Structure 1
């Protein structure tokens, strides 16, 4: 069973060496979807409590909200593209979202309603 939450964060960035306007500082309201896969339900009938899932995701997302992503240590050596943001979030959430009967399955990051990426881990 796949259990997910949707959330968002706002932040600025620029893509170093990008051949176009995205090299200039600009911002996005990134939309996120974090999915956990459960192989069985607990005694309450849940794969993971939404409250727990939201709290663990928000702890990591709060690091990115309203900041210049280029200044974040995770993006010092790589561009803060949607792809790298998804990888960062997946790696940061993998341990907190590893339970006895569930695990992090995917992280989806969208810059707009019509473009985004889904990362499933290595």
Structure 2
């Protein structure tokens, strides 16, 4: 199995909407790092699992969409608590829609919220 990972970072804001969120219920920023990890059993005719520039383009699109944004105001977060877990699923959906996944087995999105906390979402493609 081959694996390729590419990552990018950006700052975005959110506030948690769960009961009794404590200080996380106030608008605050995170220096997020989004990492896309693609895995598959075979390389293409150019001996690539995936075109890294295509993955970088998807990450640039994600950064452009969420950088300096309030996640709570974004359509994919409507009626959802903007947890790092939900953010990983949102980014997974965007990446899966944009990337050529023909010969991939899985796509994993890991969102680092800070140096100590992260969440990942993985699904077969």
| Structure-1-length-normalised TM-score | 0.89
Alpha-carbon distance in structure 2 between the residues aligned to 1:117 and 1:60: 17
**Equivalent residues, number:** 122
CA contact (8 A) 2:9 2:31 kept: yes
SS of residue matched to 1:66: coil
Tell me which residue corresponds to 2:23: 21
> Would you say the 8 A contact 2:7–2:59 is kept in 1?
no
Residue 32 of structure 1 pairs with residue 19 of structure 2 = no
Contact 2:112 2:118 (8 Å CA) reproduced: yes
Answer whether contact 1:94 1:103 (CA < 8 A) is retained. Answer: no
Q: Secondary structure at the match of 1:84?
A: helix
Tell me what 1:102 maps to. 104
SS in structure 1 of the partner of residue 65 of structure 2:
helix
Match of 2:48? 46
**Runs of 5+ unmatched residues, structure 1:** none
| More displaced 10-residue stretch of structure 1: 84-93 or 52-61 | 52-61
Structure 2: state its 5+ residue gaps.
none
